[in-house]
Structures are given as structure tokens and as C-alpha cells.
């Protein structure tokens, strides 16, 4: 009895760790996960862990059944899949089929049903050769093999066991994933500890025990659906954020105005004051030579990123310094989200990070205009946060005709220095601004985007951090006070 209890608890812990691994993806924007559910009431017989994706992710929701075994005394096979404990019970394959029918009947659509287990698949079973290495789905050969072939006979055995019509069985079987021979318990724990470390969380053995306990309590409470906001609350409640001083990072000082000391000594100081007009005490917005943006400063920061990446440097960048807005755009774009960097900036004494959960603020469209005889390959976007830049932007475009259409964006709250009050505000604004800019570029078939911005440095950095897949070229515009001029050309 004691061994049975130990085995059951080990299986529960294995499932809870895998559920926690999926929940942690809520802190990875590129994963586009909108919620994770454990012991999913909508999952029928495949209910251990459900991962639901955002509508724009173009990925099916995954319903997962986890089977942990304390030893390797057996393997999965067709016989195992079709076996019934009693004549009145259901086989594992039947349970998956019933779940599939329920999910499709409820118009969930685009689902994947996944079996995850540390048991492997029997090498003598013909199906083993059909489990694809890329995604663990069944290969085309499983569906096209002749009914007279060995594989075709196995496929027909599955279908007849379910009592399914050929087309129905085909649709069902294409949703199956057999992630068998998966990590042992210790490997799962290592996998999750590494993800927690990369996300700036505590990742020692005690933290993993806490994580398992969190999932268990979610199940017991019946509140087993977790989105990004819920996960943030759980991480704070159980003190799972790693102490800042313990997180590996690269500290970069970015200077274009004047030098200033911060509480964190720098690993790298990008001192660009030599490129700017002004006296030794304070530099202005204009550069001495316009070529300095893309032939001096941009290559320097790109070389720094390449060096850090080549040496597998920390993915957390702590950025400090007094610099104009264009350098902050360049830093955010260089250490981008798509390259898996997180950036922390000092915004008026507050440490704001690009991995914060979006909260409360979005970018709203406040107007559009057409420019007669403007460059049809280019569009312009003006982002107002601290104050309105509309008139200055119009003045530049009326003079240069550098774009054929303009889009004006601003926060869904009043303009001013307090438009952003948290990192989550800036992250939410940056994400929605990117979506609107990308749609605007696509609508006009443009290849270049001119980007005008009036707001805090955190907004410039966080928007730059998001600027991938928006336009072939993004021309950042720097306010010269008065008037705008091109600065960095980001590609």
C-alpha cells in the first residue's frame, strides 16, 4: 500500500510540474499563451493540462493527458492503447476519441490531444515508426498505407475499435500527439528550473516544491484556470521572484546627454556624447554628422549584442543613463523581445521591465490623414504620450512629403507625464501600438515606416523592444527642438 501511495504521489508531482511548465509560458510573450487549465472540466478524459493560445497565435489548443510510471516495466503499443480493464470500461484510445468528439461538438476547433509519458513505444509495434520526431504527430504513412499492409491493418484495427467512419477517424487521428519516452522526473525538474531561472524566478529545489504545491492548491480550490494576471499574483504571493541582486544581467549605461552615476556599476558604457552637438556639460538632440546614427552608434550597439549572444551572456539587460529618445529606441530594438532579451530601465527612480504583465493602458488611434504627392512606399506614425506631437509631425511631412499617409496614436487615458504609472502600462501600450502600426503598414502596402514619438524613455525602449515584423525599414525620427530629423534606420 505504501508503495502504491508513493507511486501515485510521484505521478501527481510529475503532472503538476508539467502544468507549472506550461503556466510559466504565460510570462513568455512569444509563446502567445492566454491561459492554462489543470484538471480541465472541459477536457473530458484528456484533462490533466490544457494550454489555450491567443487567437493570433495560429496554434491549436492542447489538451494533455500525463501518464507517469515509476519504472520501465512496460511500453505503449496498439494493444495497450486498445486494452480495457473490464468489458464495460473504456480503452485509452476510446477516452481520447470521446474527448475529441466532445471538443469538436462544442466548436472548440483546432485542438490537439496529447499523451505525455515517460514510457516509450514498443519497438515491435508498426505504429512506432509513424510517430514523428518533429511534433509527435502520426506521419502521413499512417493515413496512406494500404489497408492490406501491416500498418494499414493496425490503422483499421484502431478505427474499428472506435466504431468510427473513415473520414471521422482520419480527422480524429490527425489531432493525436504521442509524446512518449519523455523526460524522467529529474529531467522534468531540471527543465522547469531552467525556465524559472530564465524568467528571473527562484529555481532551487525549494522553489520547485512550492510550485508543485501551488498547482495542487489550484486543483483543490477548483480555481484551476490560470492566465498571466493570476500567475503574477501567485508568483508574488509565494515569493518566487528571484532577488534582483541574484539575477544574472548585463548593466549598460547609455549616455548621449550627460554623465550620471547610478546605483548599479556598469558592465558596458555606451558613451555617445561625442556624436552630439552641445557643450561638455550637456549635449543636445542634434548630431554633428547625420551619418553617426547608422554608421557610428548603431553598429556599436549591434556589436555589443553580438558579443553577448556569442558568449551566451545574460538575457537580462539593465539599462541606465541619460540619453535622447532615439538611442532608447535603438537599444530596445537591438536587445529585442524576439531575441529573448528582457530590458530593465530606470524610469524616474522606478525599475520597469519589458517582461511585466500588460495592465490597463492601450494605444488608441486618434486620427488618420493622407498626404498629397507623398512617398507611396512610406507611411508615418506619430505616438503621443507626454504631449501631442501632431502639429510638429505634420510640419515635417508637409515639407518633405516623406510619407503618403499618417496614423496618430495615443494612450487610452489623458496625455501627460503620468500617462504611464507602471511597467505593465508601458508593456500594454507598446504591444497594442505595434499591432496598430503593423496593420497600418500592411493596409498601405508600405515598405518603410517613419516613427515619431513624444513620451518617456521607457516607452521608446519598450516600443523598440517590440518592433519586429512591422515594416521592412523603420525610420526613427528625433525631435531636434524645433523640428524632426531622421535618426536610426532599423531593419
Residue 427, domain extent: 363-490
Same domain, 226 and 105: yes
Strands 268-271 and 342-347: unpaired
Same domain, 338 and 373: no
Same domain, 396 and 478: yes
State how many domains the chain has.
3
Same domain, 249 and 211: no
In a domain, 41, yes or no: yes
Is residue 410 a contact partner of residue 384, using CB atoms and an 8 Å limit? yes
Is the entire prediction scored with pTM above 0.95? no
Same domain, 223 and 341: no
Of 237, 253, 273, the one marking the end of a domain is 237
Q: What is the pLDDT of residues 94-137, one digit of tens each?
A: 999 999 999 987 755 589 999 999 999 999 999 999 999 999 99
In a domain, 358, yes or no: no
- For residue 482, whether the previous peptide bond is cis, meaning omega lies within 30 degrees of 0, is yes
Same domain, 135 and 42: yes
Same domain, 53 and 195: yes
Same domain, 342 and 480: no
How many C-beta atoms surround the C-beta of residue 212 within 10 A? 20
Of 335, 353, 371, the one marking the end of a domain is 353
Residue 449's beta-bridge partner residues?
A: 379, 474
Same domain, 11 and 150: yes
Strands 268-271 and 250-255: parallel
Return d(Cα 229, Cα 39) in angstroms, integer: 20
Same domain, 177 and 127: yes
Same domain, 376 and 345: no
**pLDDT (0 to 100) of residue 200:** 83
With vertex at residue 22, the alpha carbon angle to CA 17 and CA 23, rounded to the nearest 5 degrees, is 95
The domain spanning residue 440 has which CATH number? 3.40.50
Nearest to 15 by CA among 53, 52, 65, 62: 65
Same domain, 309 and 448: no
Q: What is the pLDDT of residues 142-187, one digit of tens each?
A: 999 999 999 999 999 999 999 999 999 999 999 999 999 999 999 9
Evaluate if residue 2 carries a pLDDT over 50.
no
Q: What is the pLDDT of residues 298-357, one digit of tens each?
A: 999 999 999 988 887 788 999 999 999 999 999 999 999 999 899 999 988 888 999 998
Question: Residue 11 corresponds to which cell in the numbers above?
Answer: 505521478
Of 307, 322, 353, the one marking the end of a domain is 353
The percentage of the chain sitting over the pLDDT mark of 90, rounded to a whole number, equals 79
Amino acid at each position: 500500500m505504501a508503495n502504491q501511495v508513493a507511486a501515485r504521489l510521484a505521478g501527481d508531482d510529475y503532472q503538476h510540474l508539467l502544468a507549472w511548465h506550461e503556466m510559466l509560458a504565460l510570462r513568455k510573450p512569444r509563446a502567445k499563451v492566454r491561459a492554462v487549465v489543470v484538471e480541465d472540466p472541459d477536457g473530458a478524459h484528456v484533462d490533466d493540462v490544457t494550454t489555450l493560445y491567443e487567437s493570433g497565435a495560429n496554434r491549436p489548443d492542447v489538451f494533455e493527458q500525463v501518464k507517469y510510471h515509476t519504472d520501465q516495466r512496460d511500453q505503449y503499443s496498439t494493444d495497450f492503447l486498445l486494452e480495457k480493464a473490464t468489458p464495460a470500461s473504456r480503452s485509452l484510445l476510446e477516452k481520447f476519441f470521446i474527448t475529441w468528439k466532445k471538443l469538436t461538438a462544442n466548436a472548440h476547433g483546432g485542438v490537439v490531444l496529447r499523451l505525455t509519458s515517460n514510457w516509450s513505444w514498443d519497438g515491435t509495434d508498426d505504429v512506432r515508426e509513424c510517430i514523428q520526431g518533429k511534433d509527435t504527430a502520426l506521419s502521413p504513412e499512417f493515413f496512406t498505407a494500404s489497408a492490406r499492409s501491416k500498418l494499414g491493418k493496425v490503422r483499421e484495427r484502431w478505427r474499428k475499435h472506435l466504431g468510427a467512419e473513415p473520414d471521422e477517424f482520419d480527422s480524429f487521428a490527425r489531432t493525436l500527439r504521442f509524446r512518449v519516452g519523455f523526460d524522467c522526473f529529474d529531467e522534468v525538474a531540471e527543465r522547469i528550473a531552467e525556465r524559472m531561472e530564465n524568467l528571473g524566478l527562484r529555481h532551487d529545489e525549494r522553489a520547485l516544491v512550492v510550485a508543485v504545491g501551488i498547482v495542487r492548491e489550484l486543483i483543490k480550490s477548483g480555481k484551476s484556470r490560470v492566465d498571466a494576471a493570476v500567475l503574477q499574483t501567485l508568483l508574488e504571493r509565494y515569493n518566487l521572484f528571484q532577488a534582483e541582486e541574484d539575477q544574472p544581467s548585463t548593466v549598460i549605461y547609455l549616455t548621449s546627454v550627460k554623465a550620471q552615476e547610478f546605483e548599479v556599476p556598469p558592465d558596458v558604457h555606451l558613451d555617445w556624447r561625442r556624436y552630439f552637438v552641445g557643450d561638455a556639460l550637456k549635449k543636445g538632440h542634434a548630431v554633428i554628422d547625420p551619418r553617426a546614427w547608422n554608421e557610428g552608434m548603431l553598429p556599436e550597439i549591434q556589436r555589443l549584442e553580438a558579443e553577448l549572444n556569442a558568449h551566451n551572456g545574460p538575457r537580462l539587460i539593465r539599462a541606465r543613463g541619460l540619453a535622447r529618445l532615439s538611442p532608447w529606441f535603438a537599444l530596445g530594438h537591438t536587445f529585442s523581445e524576439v531575441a529573448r532579451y528582457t530590458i530593465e530601465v530606470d524610469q524616474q527612480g522606478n525599475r520597469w521591465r519589458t517582461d511585466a504583465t500588460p495592465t490597463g493602458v492601450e494605444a488608441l488611434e486618434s486620427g488618420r490623414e493622407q498626404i498629397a504627392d507623398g512617398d507611396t512606399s512610406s507611411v508615418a506614425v506619430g505616438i503621443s504620450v507626454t504631449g501631442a506631437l501632431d502639429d510638429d509631425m505634420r510640419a515635417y511631412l508637409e515639407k518633405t512629403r516623406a510619407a503618403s499617409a499618417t496614423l496618430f496614436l495615443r494612450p487610452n487615458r489623458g496625455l501627460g507625464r503620468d500617462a504611464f504609472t507602471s511597467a505593465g502600462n508601458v508593456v500594454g501600450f507598446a504591444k497594442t501600438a505595434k499591432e496598430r502600426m503593423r496593420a497600418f503598414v500592411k493596409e498601405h502596402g508600405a515598405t518603410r515606416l517613419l516613427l515619431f514619438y513624444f513620451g518617456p524613455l521607457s516607452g521608446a525602449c519598450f516600443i523598440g523592444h517590440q518592433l519586429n515584423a512591422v515594416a521592412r525599414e523603420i525610420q526613427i525620427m528625433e525631435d531636434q527642438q524645433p523640428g524632426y530629423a531622421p535618426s536610426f534606420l532599423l531593419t
